[in-house]
Amino acid sequence: MSIVKINALSIPPQAGEEVVKRFAARTGELSAVAGFEGFELLRPTGEVEERWFVYTRWADEASYEAWRTSETFARGHAGGPPQGDGGGHPQGGHGGQDGAEASGPSPLSSGATLLEFDVTLSAAPPGATA
């Protein structure tokens, strides 16, 4: 089954709209990456969780690693994550999983932690892809 990478980002509340804008500007580029299966940017809505989560799903670890070590990834993460290693974060113009050059806008995240999972069970409504 697939693997999931979730980057938990510490984003100041006032930066929320800019985070969405940066990720939205680049998410389409992932569709051409071999083994990429999905992306979601999750904004916290409750009182307990303040971190944003960048959810990506991959066919296998090799597909994820090929993307993570690509030139496209390096360009998008030129500022370097404060922590974590590539579940996605809005660094230096980063707009999703791969983005702008280091000379782009300043980072919005004050910290990131990469969470990694194997998908062991999945369900979807009839006709939908799980």
Domain boundaries, the chain: 3-118
pTM: 0.73
Per-residue pLDDT reduced to its tens digit, 11-31: 988 899 999 998 888 887 888
What contacts 97, CB < 8 A, 6 or more positions away? 26, 27, 29, 30, 33, 39, 56, 67, 73, 76, 88
The whole-angstrom separation of Cα 20 and Cα 130 is: 24
The pLDDT value given to residue 129:
67
Q: Which CATH architecture has domain 3-118?
A: 2-Layer Sandwich (3.30)
